[in-house]
Structure 1
Amino acid sequence: MIGILGGSGLYEIDGLEIIEERRLQTPFGEPSDAYIVADYKGKRAVFLPRHGKGHKYPPHLINYRANIWGFRKLGVKKILSVSAVGGINPLLRAGDFVLSDQFLDFTKVRPVTFYEGVYTIHDDEDTNEDLVKEYITGDRVVHIDVTQPFCPVMRNTLRNILEEEGIRYHFKGTYATTEGPRLETAAEIKALSRLGADIVGMTLVPEIVLARELSMHFASINVITNLAAGISEDRLTSDEVIQMMKEKNEEIKKVIIKFIDNLPDKFDCSCENVLEGAAI
């Protein structure tokens, strides 16, 4: 089953049948909103607006652990993240799609792991019998490998779809995650550029880290909504972000529906083995 993390209304796609809305409780609190369970040609997908409907949670207050744990409870093994980002690399233009392959983490106050050693977690509704359950209930400290954090199978599937649709995209890109909710200074963007960042946003971390801690496959498709501070000559506003995402909305939905349809049943990758040998 596939999970889709993004804005509200991404599930409003022709041919997609809404099965139910599920509100969940997790050991980490309530997720951002109800999960929308849908069917397309016999394949199930679960949608969750990370900011909640109406965009009520700023990036630093999103309950990331509840969101990702809720996907686990619903049986989701693969997550596709859809995000709006600022462009740092001069080769990028507003409206481009970027399939990030690396990230830099500059967040400050967010819980970034499920595994907190002696602070064990118990979820009586979790029916999984796996290393996640063994570690999270067993006082284990876990250090996962994130050398290659994104699922190669999902990234290649997305690349093929973007090629078929003729959408301008970039197959690689380092996503710098900042705390927000303020935008970055020109000096910060200059520093991020020197560190190798191509795009900047506020939500990828800890989403990808938490998903990987649960042995999930994860890919991120990012839309350049504007150029970052100091690169753009204009004052940055939320209005331009909203406008660009509206303009790209139909393309995003087309990519999502083809992604659900074309994702292979079997994956030739190591994402699900990340917990092996990771616990102390």
Structure 2
Amino acid sequence: MTLDLAVIGGTGLYQFPGLEDVERRTLDTPYGAPSGAVVLGRFRGRRLAFLARHGEDHTLAPHRVNYRANLWALHRLGARRVLGVNAVGGIRADMKPRALAVPDQIIDYTHGRISSYSDMEGVKVEHIDFSEPYGAALRADVLAAARRAGVAVVDGGCYGATQGPRLETRAEIARLRRDGCDLVGMTGMPEAALARELGIDYACLALVANWAAGCGDQAEISLEEIFANLAAATAEVPKIIAALLGD
């Protein structure tokens, strides 16, 4: 059966509910080990692959994720569409906790991460066009699926990708706001760029876990609130996926 979609789960999404006929595939890649086994199964009659970005026990910090191995493994298994689910902080007023968004731009503030498949001895250097970092076709499909599923989703926005694993300072968020960022997260890059190098139609479904530092009306960021907000937002993801796969 053709692989219809691959989902990379972020913080709070370590297993995909509702998968049937599950098979776990552990792949060796030219870039080392992925974050864990790729879980293959059927969801509403369609073939789906799922990979927990941080590992199923959340043991990998954002800067320690082997993004190259993850994308290569999914591509090797036949994924041509990949939806990255990312926990983020909200900067713009409508990116409030528990909101879901499908960003259309990204600014990369990370450092020291291996960000290209060209970063190997003897490999031809590829200069990808990254003007539009997310695939237009999959973005449109995700937005349409959310509408069909009755899930409110913000269309567009700029994702600021920071190094982590610490949360940002107020001054850093103020800078991101001046730069035009609407969301802040730690895993958006280099995942999006690597997907583009492999020719994968890639989109991000961002789940707002908290207001970023200095935004909203909260004085302090509570981890308990973050996980409660993530749980509420994550519960909407299978509805969107079901509609995306034609339920």
Q: What is the TM-score normalised by the length of structure 2?
A: 0.92
- Residue pairs, 1:135-174, within 5 angstroms: 139-174=123-158
> Equivalent of 2:118, from 112, 115, 118?
115
178-187 vs 158-167, greater mean Cα deviation: 158-167
Shift in Å, 1:223: 1.2
What is the percent sequence identity of the aligned residues? 36
Contact 2:81 2:202 survives alignment (8 Å):
yes
- Residue pairs, 1:66-145, within 5 angstroms: 66-116=69-119, 119-120=121-122, 139-145=123-129
Unaligned runs of at least 5 residues, structure 2: none
Residue type at the aligned position of 1:12:
P
Equivalent position of 1:249 in the other structure: 234
> Equivalent of 1:259, from 238, 244, 247?
244
Shift in Å, 1:42: 4.6
Distance 1:248 1:92 in 2: 12
Equivalent position of 1:190 in the other structure: 174
CA RMSD of aligned residues (A): 1.6
Residue type at the aligned position of 2:129:
D
| Distance of aligned partners of 1:258 and 1:166 in 2 relative to their CA distance in 1, 3 Å threshold | closer
Distance 1:254 1:192 in 2: 31
Shift in Å, 1:9: 4.4
Contact 2:101 2:206 survives alignment (8 Å):
yes
Shift in Å, 1:142: 1.2
186-195 vs 42-51, greater mean Cα deviation: 42-51
Contact 1:115 1:141 survives alignment (8 Å):
yes
Aligned length in residues: 241
Distance 1:242 1:43 in 2: 30
Residue type at the aligned position of 1:149:
P
Distance 1:237 1:144 in 2: 39
Contact 2:128 2:197 survives alignment (8 Å):
yes
Shift in Å, 1:174: 0.4
Distance 2:58 2:134 in 1: 26
Equivalent position of 2:225 in the other structure: 240
Unaligned runs of at least 5 residues, structure 1: 121-138, 263-280
Equivalent position of 2:165 in the other structure: 181
Shift in Å, 1:213: 0.4
Q: What is the TM-score normalised by the length of structure 1?
A: 0.82
SS in structure 2 of the partner of residue 67 of structure 1 = helix
Contact 2:14 2:55 survives alignment (8 Å):
no
Equivalent position of 1:62 in the other structure: 65
Which protein is bigger by CA-based radius of gyration?
Answer: 1
Residue type at the aligned position of 2:146:
L
SS in structure 2 of the partner of residue 257 of structure 1 = helix
Contact 1:184 1:229 survives alignment (8 Å):
yes
Distance 2:156 2:241 in 1: 19
